[in-house]
Amino acid sequence: MDLEKLLTDRLAPAFEKVAGLPVDPVVRRSQRADFQSDAALALARRLGRPPRSIAAEVLDRAELGDLCAVAEVSGPGFLNLTVADRALGGLVAALATDPRLGVPVAAEPETVVVDYSGPNVAKEMHVGHLRSTVIGDAAARLLEWLGHRVVRANHLGDWGTPFGMLIEHLADLGEAEAAQELSMGDLDAFYKAARAKFDADEAFRERSRQRVVALQGGDEATLRLWRLLVEQSERYFLAVYELLDVTLTARDFQGESSYNDLLAPVVADLDRAGLLRESDGAACVFPPGFAGRDGEPLPLIVRKSDGGYGYPATDLAAIRHRTGSVGATRLLYVVGLPQRRHFELVYAAAAQAGWLVPPARAEHVGFGSILGSDGRMLRSRSGESVKLVALLEEAVARATWLARERNPDLGEAEAAEVGRAVGIGAIKYADLSSDRHKDYVLDWERMLALDGNTAPYLQYAYSRIRSIFRRAGTAARPDAAISLVEPAERALAIELLGFSGVVAEVARSLDFHQLAAYLYRLAAAFSAFYERCPVLRAGGELRESRLLLCDLTARVLRQGLYLLGIRTPERL
Ligand code: ARG
């Protein structure tokens, strides 16, 4: 059980009695004592009483005897709380026998659709898709672990006008040649060649336009070529997911094209509900409360003037499908911040149409850009956007090289495996440990460093604990009596008990940097503990107790990193 929550639950009724209204005690970790509440300060003005006297009365009324060794008023009116060693030991012992490490499954499990990755057919995934893939996968792992039914939706861009030129280019190359080129993952070359012809050659342009018509009209020969493009791209994306240790599978592709048959009914329903207005020949919804810079209401174009449906109509159909047929109540869209406005309009229109009504709700899990060391959008040396695969391969190569340098005895295969776990882990962790709402700078040195808030540091902490057990030659006894004598030992115990609170918070906010920061604090607390408290050299019960603390730390690190999608090798 989360200590902060435990203390909150004890203080809240006392505060309520004193204040005559519900009060959040705001219990936080503190330097002065284990925890501190400053709620009395905030209440003082409201109650017209000195904060110290409020705090003192709360202490009188709160039942803290079994939990706290010291509970006192300090400074202007803080409540300082020091947890009793016995209580702490008991809570840690309960954690040790809990396979879920104190994290309860959701009391009300729901169906959650996580829309993430969403690359585009016949186009290279770029670093923006990396963030979506990494953050979305962490969300899927976390919510699944909490007992929710998670539906992974890979909203593949597999439809629209560019397919005219792509299919024509494919037909020009011949199927065998095209399949070869695409299977090598040279999607950009393919796309660019098609584009170049389209720009240069009027006849090709005309053929491309006719292809779009044939594609939309369901022409079988055209559909076959289109499927070839989609299949080759999907195969390539799956290889990237595998390299990236991402849980997306072939079953999770829910391409834009899969909503084709729903588009006309969606627009018809909007019309019936009286929500459509014509604007420059296009059919639009104008959700209330959205205005452009000029103050004019913003449209969501659901049918273009040429009669075609685009990205917004597809997203509306997807929402109706997800809340209707799939039965989801929480819809997550892990997509870059530039698309924020699009999603706000789509959610508002879906709400008006009755497809997104409580308890169902949608959240845009937005994120900033990845920047190069020059502080600008990440570019390759030739100035183009960086290919995701190139980035991942560089990470693995660098990490493998570092692993060999640090440990020359490492065999070839082992070095490769460590290099992969560390390199991929470093990339993912660099992303997940940064506040997703902001841009972040991709810095190889920092993300691969063995110290600081990095994946290698946490993986190293994990492997170090595993090596303690290799030397001990035994596993920890889950029923060992916990004794917390040293301050570093107590500090570690308190961190261990904080896991469930952080997980609960991140399940709500999807701010994974908070989970990362927690794991980093835990690893640092372990480091301090291990420096000051001998484990293998301690005797008898103390040794058992400390081994159990080591084991718990390893389990929390492993589970926490698993939730972030990061591997924990036994040896580095
Ligand atoms: N394919 C889109 C892109 O590359 C991302 C799709 C996001 N998901 C969605 N439901 N619109 O920008």
Residues 101-122: pLDDT tens digits?
Answer: 999 999 999 999 999 999 999 8
Q: Quick check: 18 and 46 in contact, CB under 8 A?
A: no
Residues 192-246: pLDDT tens digits?
Answer: 999 999 999 999 999 999 999 999 899 999 999 999 999 999 999 999 999 999 9
Q: Which residue has the tokens 């882990």?
A: 425
What CATH number should be reported for the domain holding residue 7?
A: 3.30.1360.70
Both 119 and 183 in a single domain?
Answer: no
Share of the chain above pLDDT 90, in %: 85
Tell the residue nearest (CA) to atom 8 of ligand 1: 155
Whether 57 shows a pLDDT value over 90: the answer reads yes
Q: How far apart are CA 474 and CA 454, in angstroms?
A: 29
* Nearest 10 degrees: Cα torsion 68, 73, 79, 81: -20
Average pLDDT over residues 143-167: 96
Answer yes or no: is 199 within a domain.
yes
Tell the residue nearest (CA) to atom 7 of ligand 1: 118
Q: What is the pLDDT of residue 476?
A: 95
Distance 336 CA to ligand 1 centre (A): 9
Distance of CA 397 to the CA centre of its chain: 25
Distance 157 CA to ligand 1 centre (A): 7
**Domain boundary, last residue among 320, 337, 364:** 364
Distance 441 CA to ligand 1 centre (A): 23
Tell the residue nearest (CA) to atom 5 of ligand 1: 118
Distance 56 CA to ligand 1 centre (A): 55
Distance 550 CA to ligand 1 centre (A): 43
Q: What is the pLDDT of residue 183?
A: 73
Q: How far apart are CA 259 and CA 555, in angstroms?
A: 43
Share of the chain above pLDDT 70, in %: 98
User: How many Cβ atoms sit within 10 Å of the Cβ of residue 506?
Assistant: 20
Residue 254 tokens read as 């829910």
Q: Quick check: 10 and 67 in contact, CB under 8 A?
A: yes
- Nearest-atom number in ligand 1 for the CA of 311 is 11
| 123 band by pLDDT with thresholds 50, 70 and 90 | confident
Distance 260 CA to ligand 1 centre (A): 16
- Nearest-atom number in ligand 1 for the CA of 335 is 7
Q: What is the pLDDT of residue 384?
A: 67
Both 152 and 171 in a single domain?
Answer: no
Both 265 and 344 in a single domain?
Answer: yes
Answer yes or no: is 8 within a domain.
yes
Tell the residue nearest (CA) to atom 9 of ligand 1: 155
- Nearest-atom number in ligand 1 for the CA of 157 is 1
Answer yes or no: is 194 within a domain.
yes
Whether 1 shows a pLDDT value over 80: the answer reads no
Tell the residue nearest (CA) to atom 4 of ligand 1: 119
Tell the residue nearest (CA) to atom 2 of ligand 1: 118
Handedness of CA 47, 49, 50, 56 (dihedral sign): negative
Average pLDDT over residues 316-332: 98
Answer yes or no: is 468 within a domain.
no
- Nearest-atom number in ligand 1 for the CA of 339 is 12
**Domain boundary, last residue among 315, 335, 364:** 364
Both 353 and 267 in a single domain?
Answer: yes
From 316, 335, 356, 388, mutation site for ligand 1 pocket: most ligand atoms within 8 A of C-beta: 335
Answer yes or no: is 92 within a domain.
no
Both 343 and 195 in a single domain?
Answer: no
Q: How far apart are CA 92 and CA 494, in angstroms?
A: 9
Q: What is the pLDDT of residue 6?
A: 93
Distance 536 CA to ligand 1 centre (A): 53
Whether 351 shows a pLDDT value over 80: the answer reads yes
Whether 381 shows a pLDDT value over 70: the answer reads no
Distance 129 CA to ligand 1 centre (A): 9
Residues 459-514: pLDDT tens digits?
Answer: 999 999 999 999 999 999 999 999 998 999 999 999 999 999 999 999 999 999 99
Residues 509-532: pLDDT tens digits?
Answer: 999 999 999 999 999 999 999 999
Distance 383 CA to ligand 1 centre (A): 24
Distance 540 CA to ligand 1 centre (A): 58
Question: Within 6 Å (CB) of ligand 1, which residues are found?
Answer: 115, 118, 120, 155, 157, 315, 318, 333, 335
Distance 516 CA to ligand 1 centre (A): 26
Q: What is the pLDDT of residue 383?
A: 62
Residues 277-308: pLDDT tens digits?
Answer: 999 999 999 999 999 888 899 999 999 998 88
**DSSP states of 48-97 as a string?**
TS-HHHHHHHHHHHS--TTTEEEEEEETTTEEEEEE-HHHHHHHHHHHHT
Distance 420 CA to ligand 1 centre (A): 28
Q: Which residue has the higher pLDDT, 384 or 93?
A: 93
Answer yes or no: is 319 within a domain.
yes
Residues 428-447: pLDDT tens digits?
Answer: 999 999 999 999 998 999 99
Distance 267 CA to ligand 1 centre (A): 20
Answer yes or no: is 127 within a domain.
yes
For residue 370, what are the contacts with CB-CB under 8 A and spacing of at least 6?
127, 128, 130, 131, 377, 378, 431, 439, 440, 441, 442
Q: How many residues does the chain have?
A: 572
Both 172 and 74 in a single domain?
Answer: no
- Which structural domain range is residue 119 located in? 111-157+257-274+304-364
Both 262 and 357 in a single domain?
Answer: yes
Average pLDDT over residues 404-424: 92
pTM of the model: 0.95
Q: What is the pLDDT of residue 380?
A: 63
Residues 446-456: pLDDT tens digits?
Answer: 999 999 999 99
Tell the residue nearest (CA) to atom 11 of ligand 1: 315
Both 170 and 209 in a single domain?
Answer: yes
- Nearest-atom number in ligand 1 for the CA of 315 is 10
Both 143 and 188 in a single domain?
Answer: no
- Nearest-atom number in ligand 1 for the CA of 129 is 4
Both 265 and 354 in a single domain?
Answer: yes
| 382 band by pLDDT with thresholds 50, 70 and 90 | low
Domain count, the chain: 3
**Axis-axis angle for helices 487-497, 85-96 (nearest 10):** 50
Both 119 and 262 in a single domain?
Answer: yes
Average pLDDT over residues 374-379: 78
Answer yes or no: is 541 within a domain.
no
Both 78 and 173 in a single domain?
Answer: no
From 155, 234, 364, 385, mutation site for ligand 1 pocket: most ligand atoms within 8 A of C-beta: 155
Amino acid at 46: R
